[in-house]
């Protein structure tokens, strides 16, 4: 009997121990270890990321430059994938079996238990076909999102584009981005990524064993709402932006226009350009590859990345510095025999033209190299030959105040500084004390080692238009319903030149357009002040340069135009600038006394020939391509217009168009 009770206690002990172990295991599974809860939830609850609409970007007049269209990503949870008709699935979403296997392997490698993107950006019609049959493909689902679309196919380099995040992007975001997310890569999309992207939401959905949605979990109590990105109003004027792109099609170069009173950029044109719609969708990779191979570099943002010698457009700036330093006055004269002697060098005016006796204003109007070589030598030699480096450093500092040689901190990535040489640069090139003003004389007329971006050239014109100061150029003027309040955009940046010195320079710049080198580009009813330039180019024909602002009093627009390998500034850059200025100020383009026409400049083909290379990607803008024009006939017409002006105007103020131009000092 005692033996029986002993066995009973043993059995009871074993049973109780088993129950305690079971209870402990249940406690661990339900309270401590959440894996099983996650497995259970995955059987009934799906968490779907709700991607917010990316903020639209508008022009200054509320014209939409970029907005969104819906697309659908196919997602996969590898652990739930079961055998199905893969051929039919591939047919529905437009891939082959090899592509299917590659994508699924990648998803499994990422995580068998986590959702990842299988195929991106299905259009609405493909999504509709797939959605009806989605229960046939276990483990697969569809995630809605939006991509960018560009109604006017304009301002590609300004707007930029978005692309899929990289591992580095994910790491830098501290977990905000996930594989398959998109981020701004270039342009405004990159600069204002934090504002444009918005805030993602999460939706918890109940599903059955066939992965069919059965409604919201807990009536949405645990859902978070997506917040759309901010709307950005840019400073661009879509009218002149599109006109500028038409004028620059089949040409290489850049146009930048600025509102002097605010620093807002009105036009930002890089040519060749491309249709920004090619940077979205399932063919994006192919399109990008073609553009990278194009020798004319449509992805290159020339307004802030291309460097050009300013050429004669630099001369007004040189005159302003010289007056402020007291080495010349507006009445300072120079007799031009057709050349200037610097050391043992004879530097000719363009075509050896003899300008005779000139003052500051007439030297600007006629673009006399000799006058500005004289000005430069006075600046550099003011302390004597032994102090050349000190005087040069002072000259450089004065030039730098106008924004050359440093970034203007535009709200756009990858802005270049240009190149403004230092005395140390020449010490290294010629040894310390081994160079003089005559060594670097070309700097005085905007040549030599001096290089500037089109943005910097336009900003110099805005500075002259304001009579001595500029506001930092910027591209976004409003965020949401609020005006941009960045303090740096409201500060006047003074260049250290007294306002009274600007009038004689501006008089000369007005004469450039009224009767000088740009007379053929004079706009009826508008006083435009400008300066032509023919910038030396070691790789071919000179670059055509023109800078200007208008009207003379209370200026509304400052502009810089560079047309690469196009020759004289008066022939190409000046007419293009005049069309844009008139369009902005008057809304229309009138006929010109010189006979130049908008159609001619839109249709002209000036693409430089590249040895053994042809463009593999045809730039596309919102216009119909026109056949190349016979430039020789139009040049003859411009010359005839110039000769007509000569007969009507005083000989002392006349410079021929386009025969009379400026530099080639070297």
SS (H, E, C) 629-648: CCHHHHHHHHHHHHHHHHHH
Closest CA to 548 of 310, 240, 269, 313: 313
For residue 205, the cross-strand partners are: 46, 216
Among 316-325, 382-391, 487-496, 626-635, the minimum mean pLDDT is found in 626-635
What pTM, to 2 d.p., does this model score?
0.82
Residue with tokens 């920004």: 276
For residue 142, the cross-strand partners are: 74
Q: Are 657 and 570 in contact (CB under 8 A)?
A: yes
Task: Report in angstroms the alpha-carbon separations of 476 from 116, 187, 584.
Answer: 35, 11, 19
Q: Are 579 and 523 in contact (CB under 8 A)?
A: no
pLDDT (mean) for 403-424: 95
Give the pLDDT confidence score for residue 3 in this predicted structure. Answer: 64
Task: Report in angstroms the alpha-carbon separations of 666 from 12, 281, 293, 369, 440.
Answer: 109, 50, 34, 11, 10
Give the pLDDT confidence score for residue 541 in this predicted structure. Answer: 87
Q: Where are the domains of the chain?
A: 2-33, 45-234, 238-653
Is the per-residue pLDDT at 635 higher than 60? Answer: no
Is the per-residue pLDDT at 509 higher than 90? Answer: yes
Give the pLDDT confidence score for residue 641 in this predicted structure. Answer: 43
State percent of the chain over pLDDT 70.
Answer: 87
What's the rounded Cα separation, in Å, for the pair 442 and 663? 9
- Residues 87-145: tens digit of each pLDDT: 999 999 999 999 999 999 999 998 888 888 899 888 888 888 898 888 899 889 888 88
Task: Report in angstroms the alpha-carbon separations of 15 from 3, 11, 25, 27, 71.
Answer: 19, 6, 15, 18, 60
Closest CA to 241 of 219, 207, 271: 271
Among 201-205, 337-341, 466-470, 653-657, the minimum mean pLDDT is found in 653-657
Q: Are 474 and 235 in contact (CB under 8 A)?
A: yes
More reliable by pLDDT, 638 or 627? 638
**Ordered DSSP codes for 454-498:** HHHHHHHHHHHHTTSEEPPPBSEEEETTEE---GGGSS-EE-S--
Q: Is 206 exposed, middle or buried (0-12, 13-18, 19+ CB in 10 A)?
A: middle
Q: Are 606 and 565 in contact (CB under 8 A)?
A: yes
Rg (CA), the chain: 33
- Residues 144-154: tens digit of each pLDDT: 888 899 999 99
∠ CA 338-340-342 to the nearest 5 degrees?
160
> What DSSP character marks residue 653?
G
Q: Which CATH architecture group holds 45-234?
A: Alpha-Beta Complex (3.90)
Is the per-residue pLDDT at 366 higher than 60? Answer: yes
Strand locations in 508-626 (E): 529-535, 543-550, 557-563
pLDDT (mean) for 238-262: 97
Say how many C-beta atoms besides its own lie within 10 A of residue 250's C-beta.
Answer: 20
Report the half-sphere exposure of 436 (CA within 13 A, side-chain side). 13
CATH 3.40.50.1370 for domain 238-653: no
Give the pLDDT confidence score for residue 29 in this predicted structure. Answer: 65
Distance of CA 302 to the CA centre of its chain: 8
Is the per-residue pLDDT at 35 higher than 70? Answer: no
Give the pLDDT confidence score for residue 42 in this predicted structure. Answer: 55
More reliable by pLDDT, 349 or 461? 461
Q: Are 324 and 398 in contact (CB under 8 A)?
A: yes
For residue 647, the cross-strand partners are: none
Residues whose CB falls within 8 Å of the CB of residue 486, separated by 6 or more in sequence, listed in order: 474
Q: Are 461 and 558 in contact (CB under 8 A)?
A: yes
What's the rounded Cα separation, in Å, for the pair 2 and 8? 10
∠ CA 634-637-638 to the nearest 5 degrees?
90
* 3-state class (DSSP) for residue 270: strand
Is the per-residue pLDDT at 658 higher than 60? Answer: no
Is the per-residue pLDDT at 632 higher than 50? Answer: no
What's the rounded Cα separation, in Å, for the pair 535 and 106? 53
- Phi and psi, residue 543, nearest 5°: -85, 140
Q: Check for a shared fold between 45-234 and 238-653.
A: no
Average per-residue pLDDT in the chain? 86
Residue with tokens 């045809």: 618
Residue with tokens 């002006």: 645
Is the per-residue pLDDT at 243 higher than 60? Answer: yes
Residue with tokens 């150029």: 473
Is the per-residue pLDDT at 193 higher than 80? Answer: yes
Task: Report in angstroms the alpha-carbon separations of 621 from 189, 242, 276, 615, 658.
Answer: 20, 8, 9, 16, 30
More reliable by pLDDT, 339 or 618? 339
Closest CA to 142 of 120, 114, 112, 109: 120
**pLDDT band (50, 70, 90) for residue 223:** confident
Among 147-151, 154-158, 293-297, 626-630, the minimum mean pLDDT is found in 626-630
């Amino acid at each position: 009997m005692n033996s029986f009770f002993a066995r009973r206690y043993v059995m009871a002990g074993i049973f109780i121990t088993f129950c305690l172990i079971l209870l402990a295991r249940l406690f661990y599974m339900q309270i401590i270890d959440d894996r099983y809860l996650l497995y259970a939830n995955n059987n009934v609850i799906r968490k779907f990321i709700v991607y917010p609409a990316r903020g639209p970007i508008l022009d200054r007049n509320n014209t939409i430059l970029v907005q969104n269209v819906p697309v659908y990503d196919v997602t996969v949870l590898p652990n739930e994938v079961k055998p199905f008709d893969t051929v039919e699935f591939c047919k529905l979403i437009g891939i082959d079996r090899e592509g299917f296997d590659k994508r699924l392997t990648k998803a499994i490698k990422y995580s068998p238990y986590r959702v990842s993107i299988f195929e991106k950006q299905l259009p609405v019609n493909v999504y509709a076909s797939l959605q009806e049959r989605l229960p046939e493909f276990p483990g697969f689902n569809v995630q809605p999102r939006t991509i960018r679309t560009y109604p006017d196919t304009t301002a590609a380099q300004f707007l930029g584009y978005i692309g899929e995040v990289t591992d580095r992007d994910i790491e830098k975001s501290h977990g905000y981005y996930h594989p398959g997310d998109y981020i701004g890569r270039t342009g405004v999309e990159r600069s204002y990524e934090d504002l444009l992207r918005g805030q993602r939401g999460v939706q918890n959905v109940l599903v059955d064993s066939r992965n069919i949605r059965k409604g919201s979990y807990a009536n949405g109590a645990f859902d978070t709402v997506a917040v759309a990105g901010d709307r950005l109003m840019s400073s661009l004027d879509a009218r002149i932006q599109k006109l500028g792109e038409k004028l620059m099609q089949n040409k290489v170069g850049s146009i930048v226009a600025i509102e002097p009173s605010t620093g807002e950029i009105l036009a930002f044109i890089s040519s060749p350009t491309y249709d920004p719609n090619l940077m979205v969708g399932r063919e994006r990779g192919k399109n990008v590859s073609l553009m990278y191979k194009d020798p004319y570099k449509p992805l290159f943002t020339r307004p802030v990345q291309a460097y050009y010698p300013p050429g004669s457009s630099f001369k007004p700036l040189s005159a302003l510095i010289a007056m402020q330093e007291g080495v010349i006055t507006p009445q300072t004269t120079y007799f031009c025999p057709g050349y200037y002697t610097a050391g043992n060098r004879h530097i000719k005016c363009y075509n050896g033209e003899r300008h005779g006796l000139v003052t500051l204003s007439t030297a600007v109007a006629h673009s006399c190299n000799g006058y500005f070589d004289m000005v430069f030598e006075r600046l550099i030699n003011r302390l004597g030959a032994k102090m050349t480096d000190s005087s040069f450093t002072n000259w450089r500092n004065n030039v730098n105040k106008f924004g050359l040689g440093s970034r203007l901190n535009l709200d756009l990535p990858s802005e270049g500084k240009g190149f403004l040489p230092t005395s140390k640069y020449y010490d290294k090139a010629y040894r310390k004390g081994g160079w003089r003003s005559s060594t670097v004389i070309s700097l005085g007329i905007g040549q030599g080692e001096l290089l500037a971006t089109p943005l910097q050239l336009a900003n110099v014109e805005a500075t002259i238009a304001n009579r001595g100061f500029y506001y930092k150029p910027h591209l976004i003027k409003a965020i949401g319903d609020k005006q941009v309040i960045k303090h740096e955009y409201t500060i006047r940046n003074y260049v250290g030149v007294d306002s009274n010195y600007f009038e004689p320079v501006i008089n000369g710049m007005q004469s450039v357009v009224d009767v000088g080198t740009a007379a053929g580009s004079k706009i009826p009813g508008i006083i435009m002040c400008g300066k032509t330039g023919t910038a030396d180019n070691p790789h071919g024909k000179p670059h055509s340069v023109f800078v200007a602002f208008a009207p003379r009093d209370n200026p509304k627009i400052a502009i810089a135009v560079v047309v690469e390998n196009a020759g004289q500034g008066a022939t190409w850059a000046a007419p293009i600038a005049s069309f844009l200025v008139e369009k902005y100020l008057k809304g229309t383009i009138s006929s010109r006394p010189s006979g130049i026409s908008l159609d001619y400049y839109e249709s002209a083909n000036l693409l430089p020939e590249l040895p053994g290379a042809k463009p593999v990607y045809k730039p596309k803008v919102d216009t119909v391509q026109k056949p190349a024009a016979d430039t020789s006939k139009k040049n003859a017409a411009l010359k005839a217009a110039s000769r007509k002006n000569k007969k009507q105007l005083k000989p002392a103020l006349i410079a021929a168009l386009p025969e009379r131009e400026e530099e080639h000092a070297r």
